[in-house]
Amino acid sequence: MTRLRFVTRLNPSKTEAGELAGYGNVTFAPMDALADGLGGLDTSLERPADELADGSYSYFAEGDLLLAKVTPCFENGKKALVTRLPNRIGFATSEVHVIRPDRRKVDPDYLRYLLSSETFRAAGIASMTGAGGLRRISDNAIKDFQLPVVNLATQKAIAAFLDRKTTRIDKLIAKRERQVELLHKRAKQAVAELVTGATVEGMATVETGLDHIPSIPAHWSLLRAGHLFHEVAEPNTDDLPVLSVSIHTGISDRQLDDEERDRKVNLIEDRSSYKCVRPGYLAYNMMRAWQGAVGVSTVNGAVSPAYVVAKPTHDLHSPYYQFLLRTPLFIEQMRQGSKGITDFRLRLYWEQFRLIMLPMPPLEEQRRIAAEAERELAHADEVAARIVRSVALLRERRAALITAAVAGQIDIRENLPTAISTSDRDRFRLVVGAEIIHRHRSNPKFGRVKLQKELYLAEAHLGISELQGNYFRQAAGPLDRALIEETERAVEAAGFYRASQADGAGTTVTYAPLANVGRHNAELKSLLGPRADALGGLIGLLRDFGTEAVEAIATLYAVWNDALMDGRQPDDSTIVNGVLTEWHEEKGKKFKDSDLRRWLDWMKRNGLTPRGQGPRTAHTMTRDMFA
């Protein structure tokens, strides 16, 4: 094992970026921009680079890993592996460590998982210094952490294994969380229908003339809130327990503990200004009524002076009105009655609340509706609680899986890539390159650009990973200059084809047949097996297209594939915009939005769509050999 200090660089200096003013706006990442757990980064917020450089922000660039260093963000796993930035650099809150992996020694994706392991989390927590909510992990806590797996190929295999396993778990978690959301949504809808009489079938109704409740059962009444309740302000002389009104659960039935009190209210030592609430009283938070902070008390207690307390004036069942007023229709009525210039300054005073029109079913019906509403919500809560517990178990399983895998404790041999020596790689490049050239022989639309793009698609789409390309985002699409040069030299040395530019450097490249032309076929089938037929199909699919069309297709494919590898599901506009604005400055001059959409549609119709596998393209701003 080795320590991270020998395979990473911590908190690189912004001086490496040169003159920052030339970058214009760059990504700014406050703590909220980092995702919990396995991480992620919201790059939508931008500010001028030179302005950020004058502050105490943390500089980072593409390829870096951001890690929250302050509690509780560190414990929550806030981090991000920065794969792509609009301007290649950014600045983050000073409360993150910037970790730059040496890609020759540590795989960035493996490192992200390592820093998500329970082993690292425990070590980080143990190393924290400081007091209260400002405890931080030190630089050395990261630098001295042991890298348990040093073999780069094994690291990549572990990362690939965890990508597959955690994706499945995360999809299951997302599905179950959606189930909880739908459960509560359906229960609230059922309650809304109950309290407004919408579930009464075959019963006569009357029109109310009101937008929020256009009709009610004919035997119900319709009264203003001020006729059903009247405001009371009984002072708290009995030193009653302090209660609160929640937008989620109504009035609490117990005293706030110290932690809740600190978070929710500023407790006044002299509680005489607090208002008494009695069982059956209605209370709402003037400042949050527009969010549904209204409820009915079941106990004697005291509430903040900022609350309005109302006592029933009729013989009514107050819980019915709690359910009614917490429906979206009546929350909207309270919002409309509130006064203020912005949402968070809205106040609902009694004078406005008392004017809201409320239905009044017969008393026994109120009790029945409230009981049914209580059962509906309780059932949803019970089922949701079971689902939430299962989600917690899935999260624990994921954490344990990550911790064991990064330590090398799980057999992931099926994920280990087949060892490809340089000589093997060269053989694959030779036969695949020869096959592409041979199938395009005498094709006037074929040249070096098309050869390069088809080599990229052979690796990315067909899974011929033995080509081991290292593709950069260049003006003519994905480019590995070494790959194309080595392939052309090997094809010529084998006596298959010779590349030539009859009109001199910078002109169209053609491939002249040599003595051994066509004799690569046996080795092609031996090396590729069934992939040889797939390669033939890909070449045939692109045969009649010119250079520009194949360039567009390969670039669209690369943008889409890179996004999938980043865990995103891009729509057509995102893919097209990625080509025009994020690939290379030449793309916007060469292609129109409509042209790229046409090619993207063609790709979908012909099954040339990526799966988020294969080589990722690297950003660069240099011009390529085809520009």
Q: Does the pLDDT value for residue 561 go beyond 60?
A: yes
The whole-number average pLDDT for the span 149-166 is 89
Which pLDDT score is estimated for 608? 93
The whole-number average pLDDT for the span 541-548 is 93
Which pLDDT score is estimated for 63? 87
Which pLDDT score is estimated for 261? 46
Which pLDDT score is estimated for 22? 74
pLDDT tier for residue 345 given thresholds of 50, 70 and 90: confident
Give, in degrees to the nearest 5, the angle at Cα 250 between 338 and 185: 90
Across all residues in the chain, what is the average pLDDT? 88
Length of the chain: 627
Helix (H) or strand (E) holding 436: helix 422-439
Give, in degrees to the nearest 5, the angle at Cα 414 between 413 and 420: 80
Which pLDDT score is estimated for 569? 86
In three-state secondary structure terms, 95 is coil
Q: Does the pLDDT value for residue 253 go beyond 70?
A: no
Looking up tokens 């319709």, which residue turns up? 222
pLDDT tier for residue 505 given thresholds of 50, 70 and 90: low
Which pLDDT score is estimated for 365? 95
Q: Does the pLDDT value for residue 620 go beyond 60?
A: no
Q: What is the DSSP letter of 617?
A: P
pLDDT, tens digit, for every residue of 200-232? 667 899 999 998 899 999 999 999 999 999 999
pLDDT, tens digit, for every residue of 226-239? 999 999 999 887 77
CA distances 207 to 328, 546, 549, Å, are 20, 69, 64
Amino acid (one-letter) located at 159: A
| Distance (Å, whole) CA 254 – CA 240 | 10
CA 419 to chain centre: 34
Give, in degrees to the nearest 5, the angle at Cα 190 between 189 and 196: 90
Instruction: Check: pTM over 0.85? Answer yes or no.
Output: no
CATH topology of domain 151-209+361-417: Helix Hairpins (1.10.287)
* Weakest mean pLDDT among 68-72, 235-239, 377-381, 483-487: 235-239
Task: Give residue limits of the domains in the chain.
Answer: 2-150, 151-209+361-417, 221-359, 422-605
pLDDT tier for residue 413 given thresholds of 50, 70 and 90: low
- Domain at 2-150: CATH code: 3.90.220.20
| Distance (Å, whole) CA 536 – CA 616 | 24
Which pLDDT score is estimated for 270? 54
Q: Does the pLDDT value for residue 18 go beyond 90?
A: no
pLDDT, tens digit, for every residue of 434-449? 999 999 998 999 999 9
Which pLDDT score is estimated for 254? 56
Which pLDDT score is estimated for 419? 45
**Domain 221-359: CATH superfamily, name plus number:** DNA methylase specificity domains (3.90.220.20)
Domains 2-150 and 221-359 share a fold: yes
